[in-house]
Amino acid sequence: MEAREPLAPDAPALELRGIQKAYPGVVAVGGVDLDLRAGEIHALVGENGAGKSTLANVAFGAIKPDAGTVRAAGTVGLVHQHFQLVGRLSVWQNVMLGREPRRGWRIDARAGRERVRALARDNGLEIDPDAFVDELPIGVQQRVELLRELEREPAVLLLDEPTAALAPAEIDSFFKTITQLAARGTAIMIVTHKLHEVLAYSSRVSVMRHGKIVARFETASTSVDEIARAMVGGELPQVAQRSETAPAPRFSVRNLRAGTGSVALNGLNFEVRAGEIVGIAGVEGNGQTTLADAIAGVIPFEGEMQRPPHTGIIPQDRHREGLVLNWSIVDNTVLGRQRLPSARRGILVDRRSARADAEAIAQRFDVRAASLDVAAGTLSGGNQQKIVVGRSLLGDPEFVLAYQPTRGIDVGAAALVQSRLIEARNAGAAILLISFELDEILALADRVLVMYRGAIAGEFSGANIDRGRIGNLMAGSSV
């Protein structure tokens, strides 16, 4: 096969103009212009939900934009954050999948194997073409994913969170390959939120927030600090009325260890006091789910945990973990509270109080439903979430775990949920708020703990809550 004619250095390789993409209730990308030049490594950074992945998929052609144009100087390749490999096929079969060399009506295995071997050699990637993919470590699977895109000789290569699952050593060798690729004229865009990688390897940085590019930097003349500030927005959070909290600890963990791998908790120590919201800030995948699971009693843990008997839990995934979708609103109101004295009469479910509770939630949270007997699965996401949150706050729980309490719901419902959480706090509840939205943490929390790789990387409270420093810690850089 003939090698692609390399583009001249700095020649435009990809032009995005006025890209817009909206989903019901949310504008993912709201008018973005972006240029990639041949031979550059361009970092696209931003918080979760800023629209980075959507933009990458528009550039790749997997998502059709509502408006705007994409012009590329050649093939565009995309390496997904979640690998798209066939585990039971070998490396070369995965790389050549859908483009297998043929001899007559048969697949020419030898040619395929040789092609992959040559490709790997040219790009300095060490790999055995005959290994089965599901027997390879993650870092090597990533190489397969990369080879598959390189096989198509792309002029533009997009990498969506390429190092999310890699160990540090694998990350170094990965960037070595990428740097070589760029040196040979491929335009590369890395979607990431790891700022130290951005600084070490990219030539330019674009920062996305709320679907727009809010800042562009030449990497040589910027800093992690500056990028982080742009990522989370410079403006100060709207301050909720925070009064002094009572000293009584309601929930505490000492040396909490749980989970395995990159999301394991490495000995957490913190407490949540009555009348206080403690926010856990952090990028998704740094152990937050492990923490929530340990508190909910779904996974085993080591260390000590003091959890009051009346705990309300708002799980992250309302469909799967929060509701029985086939059940009525009334029946769902009981879930998680079925053993509390207030929800039962002896061994029976107290159906009268369940209905009264459901009515109270519907009123306090403005739940829009034809009746309280309709299945929860028929309601909109916002109304479903109102039931989950309302239920967890019934009867003044001593402690509430709120994991992404406003995830994927409209702004009005989100504001209502947040107000009710603050009211519960003012009434004396201890609330642990885990959220990937820094804005939400800053708006609600009295105290902020930053979680990075399963540990608390920093703590901020009161006047010391500093968006920029929190952003830095979230990205893994020390302050």
Partner 1 sequence: MSYLKRTLGGPAGAILLAFFLAAVAMLVAGVSPLDGFEALFIGSLGGRNQIAETLVQTTALLFPALGITLAFRAGLFNIGAEGQLVIGGLAAGALGAHFAPATPLAIFVLLAAGFVGGGIWGGIAGWLRAQFNANEIISTLMLNFVALAVANYLVSGPLKASNASGAETTPLPASSYLPTLIPDTRLSIAIVIAIGAAIVLRWLLKRTVFGYELRASGEAPDAARRNGVNMPRMTLLALTLSGAIAGLGGATIVTGVLHRFNTQLSPGYGYTAIAVALVGDLNPLWVCVAAFGFGILEAGGLAMQALADVPKDAIHVIEGLIILVLAARRYVATRAEAAPI
Q: Are 219 and 202 in contact (CB under 8 A)?
A: yes
Tell me the closest approach of the beta carbon of residue 220 to partner 1, in angstroms: 46
Q: Is 347 exposed, middle or buried (0-12, 13-18, 19+ CB in 10 A)?
A: exposed
Give the neighbor-by-neighbor strand order of the sheet with 301-306: 265-273, 249-258, 301-306
Spatial separation of the C-alpha atoms in residues 151 and 118, rounded to whole Å: 10
Tell me the closest approach of the beta carbon of residue 300 to partner 1, in angstroms: 12
Of 141 and 332, nearer to partner 1 (C-beta) is: 332
Tell me the closest approach of the beta carbon of residue 333 to partner 1, in angstroms: 12
Of 23 and 167, nearer to partner 1 (C-beta) is: 23
Placement of tokens 């700095």 in the chain: 10
Q: Are 258 and 304 in contact (CB under 8 A)?
A: no
Tell me the closest approach of the beta carbon of residue 385 to partner 1, in angstroms: 14
Of 313 and 470, nearer to partner 1 (C-beta) is: 313
Of 354 and 457, nearer to partner 1 (C-beta) is: 354
Spatial separation of the C-alpha atoms in residues 459 and 157, rounded to whole Å: 38
Beta strand ranges found along 40-82 (DSSP E): 41-46, 67-72, 76-79
Of 7 and 433, nearer to partner 1 (C-beta) is: 433
Of 331 and 446, nearer to partner 1 (C-beta) is: 331
Tell me the closest approach of the beta carbon of residue 148 to partner 1, in angstroms: 27
Of 93 and 332, nearer to partner 1 (C-beta) is: 332
390-421 core/surface letters (b: 16 or more CB in 10 A; e: else): bbbbbeebbbbbbbbbbbebbeebbebbbebb
Q: How many CB atoms lie within 10 A of CB 234?
A: 10
Spatial separation of the C-alpha atoms in residues 113 and 39, rounded to whole Å: 29
Tell me the closest approach of the beta carbon of residue 329 to partner 1, in angstroms: 14
Spatial separation of the C-alpha atoms in residues 242 and 226, rounded to whole Å: 29
User: Both ends of the chain: CA-CA distance in Å?
Assistant: 50
Tell me the closest approach of the beta carbon of residue 298 to partner 1, in angstroms: 6
Q: Who's near 325: CB < 8 A, 6+ residues apart? A: 319, 375, 376, 377
Q: What are phi and psi of 103, to 5 degrees?
A: -130, 105
Tell me the closest approach of the beta carbon of residue 324 to partner 1, in angstroms: 4
Spatial separation of the C-alpha atoms in residues 237 and 273, rounded to whole Å: 22
Tell me the closest approach of the beta carbon of residue 323 to partner 1, in angstroms: 6
Q: What are phi and psi of 171, to 5 degrees?
A: -65, -45
Tell me the closest approach of the beta carbon of residue 295 to partner 1, in angstroms: 10
Tell me the closest approach of the beta carbon of residue 313 to partner 1, in angstroms: 7
Tell me the closest approach of the beta carbon of residue 327 to partner 1, in angstroms: 7
Of 86 and 324, nearer to partner 1 (C-beta) is: 324
Of 73 and 325, nearer to partner 1 (C-beta) is: 325
Q: What are phi and psi of 167, to 5 degrees?
A: -80, 160
- DSSP state letter for 51: S
Of 393 and 474, nearer to partner 1 (C-beta) is: 393
Of 40 and 331, nearer to partner 1 (C-beta) is: 331
Q: Is 299 exposed, middle or buried (0-12, 13-18, 19+ CB in 10 A)?
A: middle
Q: What share of the chain is helix, strand, coil (3-state, %, to 5)?
A: 35, 30, 35
Of 192 and 311, nearer to partner 1 (C-beta) is: 311
Spatial separation of the C-alpha atoms in residues 202 and 39, rounded to whole Å: 11
Q: Are 76 and 14 in contact (CB under 8 A)?
A: yes
Write out the residues near partner 1 by the rule CB under 8 A: 296-298, 313, 315, 317, 320-327, 331, 334-336, 338-339, 344, 347-349, 351
